[in-house]
Every structure is written in C-alpha cells, then in structure tokens.
C-alpha cells in the first residue's frame, strides 16, 4: 500500500498463489478502502496485483485447511462467513465515494473478477483472462457476480460466464463492456496512470456523489433517483470545486480543482 498525490495504491501481494485472497487480505482490503473513503487526502484508489496476475480468486484451500484445526468446517460456515468477507468487500468497492481504478494483468478469476467488475474503471492487458470458475468447481457464484454481470454484459453473456464457465480475454472483455478498455501489456501502467491522474485532479466531491448516484440508481425507481440527484446537486454546488469550476468557465481556462 502506498499513497502519492491523492492516489492510494493497493497491491495484492501473493504472486506465488496468483494473488489469491485469503481472509486476512479480505479484511485488510475492506478496512483500507473504507478508511480511504473517509480520508480527504485520498482522491482515487488504484487496485492491482504483484507479478504476472491480478487475482486468481479466493484462497479456499488455505481457508479450509485452517478451519477447525484442519477438520471439515461445520455446516453453514460459508453462509456465516461471507457477510464479513467477500460480501462486505464488494459492496464497499461499489459504494465508497472514492473512485476505484483496477489494473488487471493475467488472471482475474472469482473474487478477482468481482473486484474488476465492481471497480469504477478497469483497464486490462489484451492477454488478460476473466473467469467465473464456480460451475467448474461445483459450487455457486458469490461476491455479487450474479447481480453485477447481467447488468454489465447482459443476460446471455453473463449466463455463458456463470453457467458454462466461459473465459473472456482482455480484448473481448473491453468489447463487451465488462471493463473500460484493454491495452498491450507494455502500456498498462501508462493507461492506468492517465486515468488516475485525471481522477486525482477532478472535482472530488462531485465525482464521489456521481458514483453514489450511479450505484443507488441500479436499484432505485425514477422518483427516488430524481430526489437523490437533487440532494447530490445541492451538496456538490456547495463545494469549493464548484466555485472554481464556475470561475474557470468565466475566465475561459481549465479549472484547478483541489478536491474540496
């Protein structure tokens, strides 16, 4: 984890396991992103993986080996654990008012796929692979993928990924709208930096409230959404960046937003 110029960098760091996420990493990510959402110095979060892969999924093998001294967990353990693990992390990524940018190399499977879809902007290499491995492993999806994927790529494509286990390459993922764009491997860092630089220099209050409106609108009726838009407009118009935006328009120059 590192922060620079309003950009908080979070890197999954288990390259020997394709950055598979264990329970401690899940808690750490959730708590760090929540804290970043309340830190006025953080204007954008970048999520990436160390080495050749973004994330190969949750480390189920290690979790089961550690459960109950190596014995099989008792019935209901998954249902009890998820609200404090993946089913806490993904809603935090979706709802935090700090934009999240995801950089994907190699595999993005399981919870890795969910993080890539939940992020506000995801850029991947053209040779990246997005995979929902659940059907191939004999269990059902989690991490909100049955909710997010149909909304992102449509019912037919979501069913192919979730029911048939179709693996989607980086270029196709961009064509489908699963991610923002795919670039050659050598260009990934520059592409992510261009996006984060733009977000870090944007009107942070307005960007955060716009993200909130987009997330809330996924399950709201029009009347509720219009009311929320009025609330968002009221708050953003009281920000210092709003006044700077008006001044820049009058003076025919680019605004210099301070994120306040």
Instruction: Assess if residue 64 is contained within a domain.
Output: yes
Instruction: Assess if residue 179 is contained within a domain.
Output: yes
Can you read off the two tokens belonging to residue 82? 């998820």
Q: Mean pLDDT in the chain? A: 89
Q: Are residues 229 and 193 in the same domain?
A: no
Instruction: Give the number of C-alpha atoms closer than 13 A to the C-alpha of residue 9, restricted to the C-beta side.
Output: 16
Q: Are residues 219 and 189 in the same domain?
A: no
Higher pLDDT, 142 or 148: 148
Q: Are residues 117 and 143 in the same domain?
A: yes
What's the whole-model pTM score?
0.89
What's residue 128's pLDDT? 97
Q: Are residues 110 and 238 in the same domain?
A: no
Instruction: Assess if residue 38 is contained within a domain.
Output: yes
CATH number reported for the structural domain that contains residue 210 in this entry:
1.10.12
| DSSP per-residue codes, 135-170 | HHHTS---TTHHHHHHHHH-HHHHHHHHHS---EEH
Total number of domains in the chain = 2
pLDDT at position 152 over 60? yes
What's residue 145's pLDDT? 94
What's residue 85's pLDDT? 67
Instruction: Assess if residue 28 is contained within a domain.
Output: yes
With a pLDDT cut of 70, the percent of the chain lying above it is 89
- Coil/strand/helix, residue 47: strand
Q: Are residues 158 and 218 in the same domain?
A: no
Q: Are residues 196 and 208 in the same domain?
A: no
Q: Are residues 234 and 156 in the same domain?
A: no
Instruction: Assess if residue 258 is contained within a domain.
Output: no
Q: Which residue from 211, 200, 196, 132 is spatially nearest to 164, judged by alpha carbons?
A: 132
What's residue 141's pLDDT? 85
Compute the Cα dihedral for 169, 170, 175, 177 and give only its sign.
Answer: positive
Domain span including residue 77: 2-200
pLDDT at position 224 over 70? yes
pLDDT in tens, 183-216: 999 999 999 999 999 999 999 999 999 999 999 9
Q: List 54's β-bridge partners, or say none.
A: none
Q: Are residues 63 and 154 in the same domain?
A: yes
Q: Are residues 147 and 182 in the same domain?
A: yes
Name the pLDDT band for 1 (thresholds 50, 70, 90): low
Instruction: Assess if residue 166 is contained within a domain.
Output: yes
From the centroid of its chain, how far is CA 130? 14
Q: Are residues 194 and 153 in the same domain?
A: yes
pLDDT in tens, 34-66: 999 999 999 999 999 999 999 998 876 555 555
């Amino acid at each position: 984890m590192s922060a620079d110029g309003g950009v908080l960098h979070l890197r999954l760091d288990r390259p020997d396991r394709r950055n598979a996420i264990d329970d401690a990493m899940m808690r750490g990510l959730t708590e760090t992103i929540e804290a970043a959402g309340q830190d006025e110095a953080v204007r954008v979060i970048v999520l990436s993986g160390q080495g050749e892969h973004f994330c190969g999924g949750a480390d189920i093998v290690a979790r089961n080996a550690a459960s109950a001294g190596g014995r099989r967990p008792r019935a209901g353990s998954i249902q009890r654990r998820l609200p404090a693990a993946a089913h806490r992390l993904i809603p935090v990524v979706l709802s935090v008012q700090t934009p999240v940018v995801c950089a994907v190399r190699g595999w993005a499977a399981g919870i890795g796929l969910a993080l890539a879809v939940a992020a506000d902007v995801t850029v991947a290499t053209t040779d990246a692979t997005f995979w929902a491995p659940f059907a191939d492993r004999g269990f059902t999806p989690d991490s909100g993928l049955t909710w997010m994927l149909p909304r992102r790529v449509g019912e037919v494509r979501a069913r192919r990924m979730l029911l048939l286990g179709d693996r989607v390459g980086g270029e196709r993922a961009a064509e489908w709208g699963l991610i923002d764009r795919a670039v050659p491997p050598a260009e990934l860092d520059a592409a992510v930096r261009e996006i984060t630089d733009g977000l870090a220099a944007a009107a942070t209050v307005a960007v955060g409230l716009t993200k909130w409106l987009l997330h809330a609108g996924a399950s709201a009726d029009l009347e509720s959404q219009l009311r929320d838009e009025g609330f968002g407009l009221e708050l953003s118009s009281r920000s210092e960046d709003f006044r700077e935006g008006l001044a820049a328009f009058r003076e025919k120059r680019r605004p210099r937003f301070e994120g306040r």
